[in-house]
C-alpha cells in the first residue's frame, strides 16, 4: 500500500498572476479551503497520512494553509526551481516504499487519487499516471500523453495534436526514482518546439517507456482542474461546490443558528454557529453559511454558494450560483456578485462584479464589470506574452489582492488588476493594470460666469 505522498508546491506560478504575488498558488482557497489543504485532507482520508511537501516560492503561505492538518507533514525546500522531477526526487530522499507524487495546485476529486492508487497497487507497474481527456482545451497548452490499452506509449510537451493530458498525479515504485534523478532537463517536444530547461516528470516517464518499463495510465473518473491560470479558479470552484452539493444529504444547522420564518429557502442549509438567515432572504440552492455569517433583509442567493465566517450579505444584494465568499466580507445594497472572493472584500452600492477577487479588496460604489463584448466573442488574453483564449470565463474580471476601485469604475471584459493597485473613479479600464499602480482619469473642466443675464433675462 502507498503510505507516503509528495506534494509539489515549489513553483512560482507566474501564469497565475495576479494571485501568485502574495501567496503560492497552491494556497489559493477553493470554496474557502486552500487547494493544498484540500488535497492533503483527501490523501489523509485515503490513509496516506505521511506527506512530504516540497516548497519554494511562497513557502509561508503553504505552511499556513497546512497548519492543523491531520497528516504527518514534513517540509523540504527546493532551493532552485529546477522542475517537477527534481522536486519529486528531493522529496523522496530517505523514503522507503512506493510513493504518490501530486502537484499541489491540483483541485481533484478524491476518487481520482483512489483510482490511481488502486490500479498501481493491483498491477504493480514501475509507475502510473493520472490523465484527462482534453475536451475543448488545446493540446498546445498541456503536456500530452499518448496511450494505448491503458499504458503510456509516449509523451510530448505542448503538442500540436493529442487528446489526453497529464494531470500531475503519479505513483512510483522505489526503482523509478533513478529516472527522476537522471532526467535530462529537456522535455520531448515536436519539431520547432521550444522547451525550457527544467526537469519535467513526464520526461522521466518517457525514459521509462524508452527502456521497456511499464507505465500505467488511468483516466480521471472524477473532476480535475489544474490551477494554472486565473480562469481555472472559477472552474475549480464550480466543480468543488457541485461535488459538495451532490454529497450533501440534508440540512446541517447548528443549534445557535437562526432562520427567519419569512425566508424563502429552496435548498439545503449548512449553517455554522451563530449564522443567521433573516426576513425576505431568498436561497435558491444549497447554502453553506459559516460561523457568525449573516444573510439579511432580502438578500438573494441564486444557487449553490459558500459564504465564509462573519461575512454579511444584505439589503437585496444578489449572489450568483456557484459563488464562494471568504470571511469577514460585506455585500451591500443592490450589489451583484458572482464568482470567487477571498477574505475581507467590501462590495457596496450597486456594484456588478463577475470574476475572482483577492483578499481585502474594496469596491467603490457602482463599480461595474463588463462581461459581454460588442462582437460577442471571448477576450484574447496574454499569458507571459503568449496570446490565449480561455475555455471558460474569458470575459470575467480578475482583481488582485489589496486593490481598490473608485466610484463608477468600469472594468472591461477579461481585464486583470494587479496587487496593491487602484483603478480610480470614472476610469474605463481597457488594459491589465500592473501591480503597485494607480490609474486616474483627468477631467477637463471649463469654468465661466453664469446667471440670469446669461439665461435670457
Look at the chain and count its residues.
457
What is the per-residue DSSP string for 271-330?
Answer: E-TT-EE-TT-EE-S-EEE-TT-EE-TT-EE-SSEEE-TT-EE-TT-EE-TTEEE-TT-E
Q: pLDDT value at position 317?
A: 97
Cell of 429: 479600464
pLDDT tens sequence for the chain (457 residues): 899 999 999 999 999 999 999 999 999 999 999 999 999 999 999 999 999 999 999 999 999 999 999 999 999 999 988 999 999 999 999 898 999 999 999 999 999 999 999 999 999 999 999 999 998 888 888 999 999 999 999 999 988 889 999 999 999 999 999 999 999 999 999 998 889 899 999 999 999 999 999 999 999 999 999 999 999 999 999 999 999 999 999 999 999 999 999 999 999 999 999 999 999 999 999 999 999 999 999 999 999 999 999 999 999 999 999 999 999 999 999 999 999 999 999 998 899 999 999 999 999 999 999 999 999 999 999 998 889 999 999 999 999 999 999 999 999 999 999 999 999 999 999 999 999 999 999 989 999 988 888 877 7
Identify how many contiguous H helices and E strands the chain contains and give both numbers: 8, 41
Q: pLDDT value at position 232?
A: 97
Distance CA 101, CA 8 (A): 7
Strand, coil or helix: what is 69?
Answer: coil
Strands 381-383 and 386-388: antiparallel
Other CB atoms within a 10 A radius of the CB of residue 48 amount to 21
Name the segment(s) of the chain with CATH classification 2.160.10.10: 251-439
Distance CA 317, CA 449 (A): 44
Q: pLDDT value at position 137?
A: 84
What are the C-alpha distances in Å from 336 to residues 251, 300, 349, 352, 453?
Answer: 26, 9, 9, 5, 47
Q: Are 330 and 224 in contact (CB under 8 A)?
A: no
Q: pLDDT value at position 389?
A: 92
Place of cell 470575459: 395
Indicate the pTM of the whole model.
0.95
Q: Using the 8-state DSSP alphabet, how is residue 16 labeled? A: G
Name the segment(s) of the chain with CATH classification 3.90.550.10: 4-228
Structural fold of domain 251-439: UDP N-Acetylglucosamine Acyltransferase; domain 1 (2.160.10)
Beta-carbon contacts of residue 129 (< 8 Å; ≥ 6 apart): 116, 145, 152, 166, 167, 169, 170, 202, 205, 215, 216, 217, 218
Distance CA 183, CA 73 (A): 27
What is the per-residue DSSP string for 235-279?
Answer: HHHHHHHHHHHHH--S-EE-TT-EE-TT-EE-S-EEE-TT-EE-T
Q: Are 244 and 226 in contact (CB under 8 A)?
A: no
Q: pLDDT value at position 250?
A: 94
Structural fold of domain 4-228: Spore Coat Polysaccharide Biosynthesis Protein SpsA; Chain A (3.90.550)
Q: pLDDT value at position 101?
A: 98
Q: pLDDT value at position 83?
A: 94
φ/ψ of residue 77, rounded to 5: -95, 130
Amino acid at each position: 500500500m502507498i503510505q507516503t505522498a509528495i506534494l509539489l508546491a515549489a513553483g512560482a506560478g507566474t501564469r497565475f498572476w495576479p494571485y501568485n504575488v502574495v501567496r503560492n498558488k497552491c494556497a489559493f482557497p477553493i470554496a474557502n479551503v486552500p487547494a493544498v489543504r484540500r488535497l492533503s485532507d483527501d490523501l489523509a482520508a485515503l490513509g496516506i497520512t505521511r506527506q512530504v511537501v516540497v516548497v519554494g516560492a511562497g513557502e509561508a503561505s503553504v505552511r499556513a494553509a497546512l497548519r492543523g492538518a491531520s497528516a504527518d507533514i514534513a517540509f523540504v525546500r527546493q532551493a532552485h526551481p529546477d522542475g517537477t522531477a527534481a522536486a519529486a526526487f528531493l522529496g523522496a530522499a530517505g523514503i522507503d516504499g512506493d510513493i504518490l507524487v501530486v502537484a499541489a495546485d491540483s483541485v481533484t476529486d478524491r476518487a481520482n487519487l483512489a483510482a490511481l492508487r488502486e490500479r498501481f497497487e493491483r498491477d504493480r507497474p514501475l509507475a502510473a499516471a493520472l490523465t484527462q481527456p482534453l475536451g475543448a482545451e488545446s493540446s498546445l497548452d498541456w503536456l500530452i500523453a499518448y496511450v494505448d490499452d491503458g499504458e503510456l506509449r509516449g509523451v510530448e510537451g505542448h503538442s500540436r495534436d493529442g487528446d489526453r493530458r497529464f494531470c500531475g498525479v503519479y505513483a512510483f515504485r522505489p526503482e523509478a526514482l533513478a529516472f527522476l534523478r537522471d532526467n535530462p532537463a529537456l522535455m520531448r517536444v515536436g519539431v520547432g518546439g521550444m522547451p525550457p530547461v527544467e526537469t519535467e516528470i513526464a520526461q522521466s516517464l518517457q525514459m521509462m517507456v524508452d527502456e521497456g518499463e511499464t507505465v500505467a495510465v488511468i483516466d480521471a473518473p472524477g473532476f480535475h482542474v489544474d490551477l494554472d491560470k486565473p480562469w481555472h479558479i472559477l472552474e475549480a470552484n464550480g466543480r468543488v461546490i457541485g461535488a459538495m452539493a451532490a454529497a450533501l444529504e440534508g440540512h446541517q444547522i447548528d443549534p445557535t443558528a437562526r432562520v427567519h420564518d419569512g425566508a424563502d429557502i429552496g435548498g439545503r442549509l449548512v449553517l455554522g454557529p451563530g449564522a443567521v438567515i433573516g426576513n425576505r432572504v431568498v436561497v435558491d440552492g444549497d447554502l453553506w453559511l459559516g460561523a457568525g455569517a449573516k444573510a439579511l433583509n432580502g438578500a438573494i442567493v441564486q444557487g449553490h454558494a459558500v459564504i465564509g465566517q462573519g461575512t454579511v450579505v444584505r439589503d437585496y444584494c444578489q449572489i450568483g450560483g456557484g459563488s464562494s465568499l471568504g470571511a469577514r466580507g460585506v455585500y451591500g445594497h443592490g450589489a451583484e456578485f458572482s464568482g470567487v472572493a477571498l477574505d475581507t472584500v467590501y462590495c457596496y452600492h450597486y456594484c456588478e462584479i463577475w470574476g475572482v477577487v483577492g483578499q481585502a479588496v474594496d469596491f467603490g460604489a457602482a463599480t461595474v464589470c463588463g462581461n459581454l463584448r460588442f462582437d460577442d466573442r471571448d477576450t484574447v488574453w496574454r499569458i507571459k506574452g503568449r496570446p490565449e483564449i480561455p475555455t471558460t470565463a474569458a470575459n470575467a474580471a480578475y482583481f488582485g489582492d489589496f486593490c481598490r476601485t473608485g466610484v463608477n469604475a468600469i472594468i472591461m471584459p477579461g481585464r486583470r488588476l494587479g496587487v496593491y493597485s487602484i483603478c480610480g473613479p470614472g476610469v474605463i479600464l481597457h488594459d491589465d493594470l500592473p501591480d503597485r499602480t494607480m490609474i486616474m482619469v483627468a477631467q477637463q473642466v471649463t469654468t465661466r460666469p453664469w446667471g440670469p443675464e446669461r439665461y435670457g433675462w
